[in-house]
Every structure is written in structure tokens, then in C-alpha cells.
Amino acid sequence: MSVSIRRLSAACGAEVMGIDVRQSPEETTVAQIRHALGEHGVLLFRDCDIDPEQHIAFSRHFGPLEAHVIGDFALPGHPEVFVVSNVIEGDRPKGAVYAGQYWHSDLSYMKRPSLGSLLLCREMPEVGGDTMFANMYAAYETLSDPLKKFVSSMKAVHDYSHAYDTYFSGLKERPPLTPEQKAKTPPVEHPMVRTHPVTERRALYVNPGFTTHIADMPDEESRPILNILFRHSTRPEFVYRHKWRVHDLIFWDNRCTMHYALADYDFSVRRHMHRTTIGGDEPY
């Protein structure tokens, strides 16, 4: 069966059919998936009942894998797999609790942010727990011409600590970063608009989770502009909302999307996911 692509929404996202992720894909198939990822931003593979080794092997076709700075959330024996989970065993969380419950782009706080992430659904509540994805191509392309010109000439600062100072503040399950973890993730500057290396389209590259301010601007000027950009980026017509099924595998492109994990479910019901992260390059 040949690989086919079906759009999931007008905003972004597509389902990939005709591929068995347990098998090593041909180079032509890998190239087709790379192109579809850049074009659609989010790719869905259904019915992926795979083990961690198969998850890792499939992910590696798209680039080197990166371990998360918070090593406590790695799957035992598989440092390439980051566990996102609300499951508590022996008074300890099995993975990152409250992960991604704000708009963000994975690892935008690194000098070389992630190309993309592959998140596998292993357990999911029947109701709630969806993930939203925003099309940052559309966010940039629909700005007014003066604002496009401004953001295209500026850089913004991204800082992992920002999530811990705001969204995770006061959560005992997500204690502050250690000095060692902070040393691994110093604040970095990136262009506010980045060019996608595959599609050559331009995408807005700021996010509420990690972007703290516009470089070389005081906060009283920077904050209102960022707030405008954040609101604009998440307009409903730019957002695809995915309702998970167990064994869904979603591959999203951090270079042209941002995402938000909704916390609208009963936290006594297990939500358990495995994520691999593909290394990227410096935004330009």
C-alpha cells in the first residue's frame, strides 16, 4: 500500500496512511514524510501499538534524538524517551506532570531547538486531554505589513526557567530547576520570524511558554507586543485540536507550530504518553 496524506483541518495537521511504523521505511517514504511535516506542521499516524525500541527506531529516521534536560522524566533504560504522565507510583510521578499545559514550542529555549517531537499515546481518558496545535506560518502571514516588518527585524529571548517561574510556580510535582539544569539552559536569542529549511516559508517564532521578552527592548514596550502576537497566533482559525486515541502517534514540527496540552480531564484517570525529540538547527 502506498503512503497517502489526508488533511485533518483547515488550520494544520494531516493523517499519514499506508505506513507501518514498526518497519524501517524506504528513503523515498522518509522524504515524503519530511515534506508533509513541513507543509502540514502536524502528522498523525493511527494504530501505532509499538514498544519503546520501535518508537526510537522510527524517530531516528528523521534525525538524531535528544534527551531532555530533566533526566528524572526519562523512561528507565531509554533516555531518548521522555515520559509525559499524570500517573503516580510509590508517591513518585512516572513522568512529567502538567507538561505542556500552556502554548509553547519544544526546546525553543535551546541554541539549537528541536526539529520536531513524536508523541505516542499509551493511556488516555475517554473525555478530555486533547492537544491543540497552532499554525505559525498562518500567524506570520496574516500580520499587518508594518508588524511583519518589525518582527522580521527583531530577536526575542527564550528561557526555560520562565515556565517554572509562571506555569509551574507552586506545583510540588514540578519543583524549581536546579542550578545544574539552569546552567544547561541559559537564556538564548532567536529571530522572531524563522525560515523553514524544507518549505522556505516564514513562521512566527515566539511562544508564551518560553519567550520572555523582545531583545533590546524594555519590558513595558516588549510585553504588549508579545501579548498581541500570542493572542494573534492562537486565533481559532489557526488551531487544530486533536482528540487522542490510544496508540495515536503524532509527529509535530516545532519550527512552524506551537502546541498546548489541555488539562480538562479528571486527573484521577491515567493519561500516559511517550515522546521522542528530534534534534534541530539554529533558527534563521
Parts of the chain with a pLDDT under 50: none
Between CA 241 and CA 130 the distance in angstroms is 7
- In order of their start, the domains of the chain are 4-278 (3.60.130.10)
Contacts of 26 (CB under 8 A, 6+ apart): none
Cell readout for 175 is 519543583
* pLDDT at residue 37, as a whole number: 98
The sign one gets for the Cα dihedral 232, 245, 68, 102 is positive
Cell numbers linked to 276: 521522542
Cα angle: 118, vertex 54, 31; to 5 degrees:
60
Give the separation between CA 48 and CA 55, rounded to whole angstroms: 9
pLDDT at 214: 98
pLDDT score for 168: 83
Active-site residues, by number, are 104, 106, 259, 275
What radius of gyration, in Å, describes the C-alpha atoms of the chain?
A: 18
Residue 1 is predicted with a pLDDT of: 55
pLDDT tens digit string along 56-84? 999 999 999 998 887 888 999 999 999 99
Cell 526519562: give the residue: 74
Cell numbers at 134, concatenated: 497552532
Q: Which residue type does 17 have?
A: M
Per-residue pLDDT at 159:
96
